[in-house]
Amino acid sequence: MTGDFDIFKVSDRLKSVRPSPILMLSQKARSLREAGHSIIDLTVGEPDFDTPDHIKLSATEAMAQGKTKYTALSGAPDLLDAIAGQVAVNYELQVDRRNIVVTNGAKQAIHSAFAATLNIDDEVVLLAPFWTSYADIIRLEGGVPREITGRWSLEKGWALDLEAIEAAISPRTRWILLNSPCNPSGAVFSVVDLAGLAGILERHPHVWILSDDIYQDIAFPAPAPLFAALHPDLSARTLIVSGVSKAYAMTGWRVGWAIGPIPLIQAMTAVQSQTTSAPSSISQAAATTALRGSQESVHGMVSEFLSRRNMMVRRLNAIPGFECPVPGGAFYVFPRVTGALRALGMTSDAELCALLLQGGVAAVPGSAFGTPGYLRLSFAASEADLAGACDRIEAACARP
């Protein structure tokens, strides 16, 4: 189909939204591989494991049983009950179906929350480093991201800069967006930091917190502290976002959810009624099985990620100019590379990523996450590929 591009005009909101740099880099790596180049792609944000067989089997059983129709807007009752049961067992949080909406992945839950609550020029505090999509989702809904960079050390990794967060709050602030374990850094924020964040919310009653807990179950050595469980007194202003994508290797099934106060969940459900209606009924049946069935696959995957993490941290810290803290969760390492940039005569992390791609490794620059001078490397790949990637990074950075 052809068209006159002098006639087509994109909306003003969309002009401020960038295509995902992660997906663009992943596509570039894929294109190079298809052209015959040897590329180890460490840009991916999904487990390299397959969905467990018992979950896949439950999807075929659901189809055979005729579960192929629309579900309720907020989600299938069985899945709503399974989600409520999971948070009750794992975090001693008591919620019912009215507190939950099931979405097409956690990303849609975040979008629906902002669509339901943001007016033009309302502000959302983002804690850098942050997932690339957050800022663009906020802009797409007419909001303004307020980026606050955390405190970094090689020994402890990333921590919250509580003073800077509080200083960023204005009368237009609607949300603080928390992500722990964090994508891209793998940081798990301490109970002390979360208590400090709760204190900020208590002093600013017009501000809500969106807690993106999608990596909650991928933490070392145990699930990460959950803000909502530590501070139930703030439940009237807390939205939990999660899903089955990461812990159960179900990224393609597109099932996420949000748990929060009933008025907010009703508003998000209204948004969903005019966008996607509800996730696939078959995917919801599979997600119910994931939550209610054996968790052995989750534990096995986390154990494998732990081994890979330890190897990656050790290898990267041996490369001159790389400083890699030990991430507490997720499946990313996020080394600071300012020393390597100086040694190579470079001015940006994007230049280093271009050099690494020439050397056969695809990585994402920290500038894509609001923190220039870092790299995100996913260890959702085989040990052999990760070791090979470290070899290639070391060789590329050792060039004369």
pLDDT of residue 249: 98
Cβ atoms of residues 78 and 254 within 8 Å: no
- Both tokens of 38, joined, read 């040897």
> Do residues 190 and 151 touch, judged by C-beta distance below 8 A?
no
Q: What angle do CA 265, 268, 273 make, to 5 degrees?
A: 120
Cα–Cα distance between 125 and 265 in angstroms, integer?
21
Separation of alpha carbons 360 and 82, rounded Å:
43
CA distances from 220 to 106, 188, 306 (A): 22, 9, 7
Q: Can you tell me the mean pLDDT for 340-362? A: 95
Angle between helices 106-117 and 132-140 in degrees, nearest 10: 40
Among the listed ranges 3-7, 111-115, 302-306, 389-393, which one has the minimum average pLDDT value?
A: 3-7
CATH class held by domain 65-292: alpha beta
Structure letter (DSSP) for residue 20: P
Backbone angles phi and psi of 369, in degrees to 5? -110, 15
Plot region of 92 (φ>0 → left; ψ -120 to 50 → alpha; else → beta) = left
Query: Of 29-43, 220-234, 285-299, which one has max mean pLDDT?
Result: 285-299
Contact between residue 55 and residue 244 where contact means Cβ atoms under 8 Å apart: no
- 154 confidence band (pLDDT: 50, 70, 90): very high
Q: Tell me, what's the pLDDT at 248?
A: 98
Task: Check pLDDT > 90 for residue 44.
Answer: no
Element (H, E) at 210: strand 208-212
| Per-residue confidence (pLDDT) for residue 29, from 0 to 100 | 77
Number of other CB atoms surrounding residue 341 within 10 Å: 19
Lowest average pLDDT, out of 6-15, 74-83, 159-168, goes to 6-15
The answer, yes or no, to whether residue 41 has pLDDT greater than 80, is: yes
pLDDT given for residue 31 in this prediction? 81
**Under 8 Å between Cβ of 269 and 64:** no
- DSSP-derived pairing of the beta strands 361-362 and 332-333: unpaired
- pLDDT tier at 115 (50, 70, 90 boundaries)? very high
Tell me if 12 sits within 8 A of 211, measured CB to CB: no
Question: Distance between CA 77 and CA 379 in Å, rounded?
Answer: 36
Cα angle value 100/104/110 (rounded, 5°) = 65
Average pLDDT over residues 245-269: 98
Token pair 């339901």 in the structure block, residue = 116
Tens digits of residue pLDDT in 164-183: 999 999 999 999 999 999 99
Stretch 89-111: mean pLDDT = 96
Amino acid at 199: G
Going by CATH, does the domain composed of 12-50+297-397 fall within 3.40.50.920? no
The reported pLDDT for the residue numbered 171 is 98
User: Sorting pLDDT into bands at 50, 70 and 90, what band is 5?
Assistant: low
Lowest mean pLDDT among 7-11, 85-89, 212-216: 7-11
Predicted confidence at residue 3, as pLDDT, reads 57
Provide mean pLDDT across the span 152-156.
Answer: 96
- Are residues 292 and 285 in contact, defined by beta-carbon separation less than 8 angstroms? no
Confidence of residue 34 (pLDDT cuts 50, 70, 90): confident
Inform me whether the pLDDT recorded for 329 exceeds 90.
Answer: yes
Band of residue 400 on the pLDDT scale cut at 50, 70, 90:
low
> Could you tell me what percent of the chain has a pLDDT over 90?
88
The answer on pLDDT for 12 being more than 90 is: no
Number of residues in the chain: 400
Phi-psi region of 285 (alpha: psi -120 to 50; beta: other; left: phi over 0): alpha
What is the domain partition of the chain in residue ranges?
12-50+297-397, 65-292
CA distance 85 to 94: 8
What pLDDT shows up at residue 16?
A: 76
Q: Find the range with the poorest average confidence among 38-42, 61-65, 242-246, 324-328.
A: 38-42
Q: What are phi and psi of 219, to 5 degrees?
A: -145, 155
pLDDT per residue as tens digits for the range 204-242:
999 999 999 999 999 998 778 899 999 999 999 999 999
281 versus 36: the higher-pLDDT residue is 281
The partner residues of 272 in beta bridges, in order of sequence, read: none
Model pTM score: 0.94
CA distance 320 to 339: 7
Average pLDDT, the chain: 94
Contact 289, 117 (CB under 8 A): no
| % of the chain residues with pLDDT over 70 | 97
Q: What H or E segment, with its residue span, contains residue 333?
A: strand 332-333
The pLDDT score that the predictor gives to residue 83 is 98
pLDDT of 309 over the 60 cut:
yes
Q: What's the distance, CA 68 to chain centroid?
A: 29
Give the C-alpha distances (Å, rounded to integers) separating 164 from 196, 200, 220, 266, 338.
12, 11, 28, 33, 23
